[in-house]
Chains A and B, each alone.
Chain A
Amino acid sequence: MSVESRESQVATRVYEVGGKTKASGWDWALGLLSSVAFLVALAMVFGYAPREATMGEIQRIFYFHVASAWVGFFGFSVTFVAGILYLVRSQRRWDILGLSSAEVGLAFITMAVVTGSLWAGPVWGTYWTWEPRLTISAVQLLLYVAYVMLRASTANEERIARFAAVYGIVAFVTVPLSWFAIRWWRTIHPEIVSSEGMGLAPPMRMTLFVSVAAFTLLYAALLRQRMRLESARDRLTAAQGRLAPEEW
């Protein structure tokens, strides 16, 4: 029996090992593509997009801010779907997908909240306001910080995978509920500031589109790397299990 198959046999006893560990040509291509797209988007933000008339230079935050908020939300939807699939199928790969996506999404939503606050300062005259979109990003930040803390809090991998899947579902369901609550709340107590009605000139729209595309690629590249890391950890766990089976 080869080392490889014995190793995977031990691992299936715990739970199925998902995914490859080695970097493939696709990984390099994806990494390169996302870097190039990121640089192109960056160049467009500062070189191509026109200066906004009323807000001035600070409006340039908008492009990457929207892109990272979008990617954060997208990452959490992936965690939600992966959570459902994990509960239905109990396959380790869905757990890996869910946890990797939440972690990468958390980095992006954190960027969105921080830069949203940096936007609010000069534009709205205060570094924090309970503007609906800023608020929903902050709520998502809290939810997924809790998700990551939950993942870090138990040793029993199989059980924590189920807990995380359930919490990923609960957290994702909370997002639209919060969104409606925050929106109604804000319309009842009207704000002076409004982020609505910002008409986008075509070059601005183009820049936003490229930024969102670049960030989505970046998300995919980071997600793949994060999943590889988790597979490598599985192999290590399986190898350790082979040496000391009584650990399990």
Chain B
Amino acid sequence: MPIQLIAAYMIFCLTPLGLAFSIALRRRHVERALREMAED
């Protein structure tokens, strides 16, 4: 299998995963701040 093909499909798998992960991370950050505010 050509190296370009493997690289391409790694990009196809990792980019959406990375985006989902970054969204979840930012979301958790915001939600923690919200919870902290509610506790105050």
Which positions in A face B, CB cutoff 8 Å? 38, 42, 45, 56-58, 60-61, 64-65, 68, 104, 107-108, 110-111, 114-115, 118-119, 121-122, 218, 222, 225-226, 228-229, 232-233, 235-236, 239-240, 243
Across the interface, which residues of A come within 8 angstroms of B24, CB to CB? 225
Expressed in whole angstroms, the Cα–Cα distance for A92 and B8 within the complex equals 37
A232 touches B5 (CB 8 A): no
B19 touches A61 (CB 8 A): no
Q: Given A68-B12, A226-B23, A229-B26, are A122 and B31 neighbors across the interface (CB < 8 Å)?
A: no
Expressed in whole angstroms, the Cα–Cα distance for A236 and B5 within the complex equals 43
B2 touches A229 (CB 8 A): no
- Judged by DSSP, the binding face of A is helix
- Of chain A, the residue at the smallest CB distance from B30 is A232
Expressed in whole angstroms, the Cα–Cα distance for A104 and B40 within the complex equals 35
The interface on chain B, measured as residues whose beta carbon lies within 8 A of the other chain's beta carbons, has a size of 25
Expressed in whole angstroms, the Cα–Cα distance for A65 and B30 within the complex equals 34
Q: Distance (Å) between the CB of B21 and the closest chain A CB?
A: 10
Expressed in whole angstroms, the Cα–Cα distance for A121 and B33 within the complex equals 47
Expressed in whole angstroms, the Cα–Cα distance for A232 and B33 within the complex equals 10
Across the interface, which residues of B come within 8 angstroms of A218, CB to CB? 16
Expressed in whole angstroms, the Cα–Cα distance for A108 and B5 within the complex equals 17
A57 touches B16 (CB 8 A): no
Across the interface, which residues of B come within 8 angstroms of A229, CB to CB? 23, 26-27, 30
Across the interface, which residues of B come within 8 angstroms of A45, CB to CB? 9
Which positions in B face A, CB cutoff 8 Å? 1-2, 4-5, 7-9, 11-13, 15-16, 19-20, 23-24, 26-27, 30-31, 33-34, 37-38, 40
B2 touches A115 (CB 8 A): no
Q: Given A57-B1, A228-B27, A229-B27, are A222 and B19 neighbors across the interface (CB < 8 Å)?
A: yes
Q: Given A65-B8, A119-B8, A240-B37, are A232 and B27 neighbors across the interface (CB < 8 Å)?
A: yes
Across the interface, which residues of B come within 8 angstroms of A68, CB to CB? 12
B12 touches A111 (CB 8 A): yes
B20 touches A58 (CB 8 A): no
Across the interface, which residues of B come within 8 angstroms of A65, CB to CB? 8
Expressed in whole angstroms, the Cα–Cα distance for A68 and B16 within the complex equals 10
- Of chain B, the residue at the smallest CB distance from A121 is B4
Q: Which of A104, A118, A228 contacts B7 (CB 8 A)?
A: A118
Q: Distance (Å) between the CB of A158 and the closest chain B CB?
A: 20
